[in-house]
Amino acid sequence: MRRPLAAVLPVLLLAACQTVPPAVAVPVPVTQTAVAHVGGAGADDNLNAVLWVQASAEYDAATRSLYQAAAARLADALADPAWDALPPGTRAPGTDLASLPPAVVLDVDETVLDNSPYQARLVRDGGEFGAAGWAGWVEERAARAVPGVAAFARAAGDLGITLVYVTNREQAMERATLDNLEALGLPTDPGTFLGRGTVVPGCEGEGSSKACRRQLVGSRYRVLMQVGDQLGDFVEPAEASVAGRQAVVERHGDWFGSRWWMLPNPTYGGWEPAVFGGDWRQPLPARRAAKRAALETADD
């Protein structure tokens, strides 16, 4: 995963029974409002999001729709020798695109692999994202395929297009990740896993930035498409604020749905810390207060 998930709290609270004459117990219904005010606790931040991914037909339909639409554009992108899905300035000047083999760059988590079972555990257990727990989940090799990705991979393979995985899983997680991908029938060509920590000569990456790895891919392939669930899977926002992230969409809007394909991910992402200044050191109540303050209502 590319960043810490929101902290989670237990999802079931039993409301106290209120006694009224003549000693008849009247249960208080546990509503979202009631839960949010019992003992200062709030409803689990990620419950509905994870449940939507796992239980809704809408999530399945959304990801299938996106991958089918992307697959339908592959042949046209391949036929255009000038077609390039990397951000301007990524490649060395004068690169001969037509001489490079074609590829599609994909993020892994929530783009190819569905990690909602791991997130469901956090919700169930009142846990929080942590490096050790995440590493253990990766070692399980139990992530599911995002709906639609397998058919997209087959369509790309039929056209001779390589899939390159540019992920913020650590490079040390390569073997476990490849095993998981292979078990789901997804291609894992040598050298196509570029995790965090990949050494790119002449380029120093910071944190979860994928800029250097995109540069490395650009030296090897003509990139027809990028597929991801976060803005950073396509280009680095100039600033991580809500406005700065929105500016990326405005600037590159024409690329989404043609060169860039964004999958839905309501469970985590850069959108969340953007509303509390990116400061994960803040206690949960402070982060939640900032998120509530960022909500817009019709009377604002």
Domain segments of the chain as ranges = 59-117+143-289
CB neighbour list of residue 258: distance below 8 Å, 6 or more residues apart: 73
Q: What is the pLDDT of residue 237?
A: 86
One-letter identity of residue 135: A
One-letter identity of residue 66: L
Nearest one of 245, 140, 134 to 183, comparing CA atoms: 140
Q: What is the pLDDT of residue 300?
A: 66
Q: Which two tokens stand for residue 236?
A: 């680095």
Tell me if 104 sits within 8 A of 161, measured CB to CB: yes
What span, in angstroms and rounded, lies between the C-alpha atoms of 138 and 78?
Answer: 34
Burial of 141 (0-12, 13-18, 19+ CB in 10 A): middle
Instruction: Give the number of other Cβ atoms within 10 Å of residue 37's Cβ.
Output: 10
Burial of 274 (0-12, 13-18, 19+ CB in 10 A): buried
95: left (phi over 0), alpha (psi -120 to 50) or beta: beta
Q: What is the pLDDT of residue 3?
A: 45
Block mean pLDDT (10 aa), the chain, length 300: 40 34 32 28 77 98 98 97 93 90 98 97 90 96 98 98 97 97 97 95 85 95 98 90 93 94 96 93 92 88
The CATH code that applies to domain 59-117+143-289 is 3.40.50.1000
What span, in angstroms and rounded, lies between the C-alpha atoms of 251 and 170?
Answer: 30
Stated pTM of the model = 0.84
Q: What is the distance of C-alpha 298 from the center of its chain?
A: 29
- In our burial notation (b when 16+ CB lie closer than 10 A, e otherwise), range 86-117 reads bbeebbeeeeebeebebbbbbbbbbbbbbbbe
What span, in angstroms and rounded, lies between the C-alpha atoms of 295 and 300?
Answer: 9
Measured CA angle at 299 (ends 297, 300), to 5 deg: 70
Q: Which two tokens stand for residue 256?
A: 């989404």
Q: What is the pLDDT of residue 261?
A: 98
Tell me if 106 sits within 8 A of 163, measured CB to CB: yes
Question: Which sign, positive or negative, has the C-alpha torsion 112, 115, 117, 119?
Answer: negative
What span, in angstroms and rounded, lies between the C-alpha atoms of 21 and 14?
Answer: 22
What span, in angstroms and rounded, lies between the C-alpha atoms of 76 and 96?
Answer: 19
- 145 pairs with which residues across the strands? 113
Strands 24-26 and 102-106 turn out to be unpaired
Q: What is the pLDDT of residue 36?
A: 28
- In our burial notation (b when 16+ CB lie closer than 10 A, e otherwise), range 9-34 reads beeeeeeeeeeeeeeeeeeeeeeeee
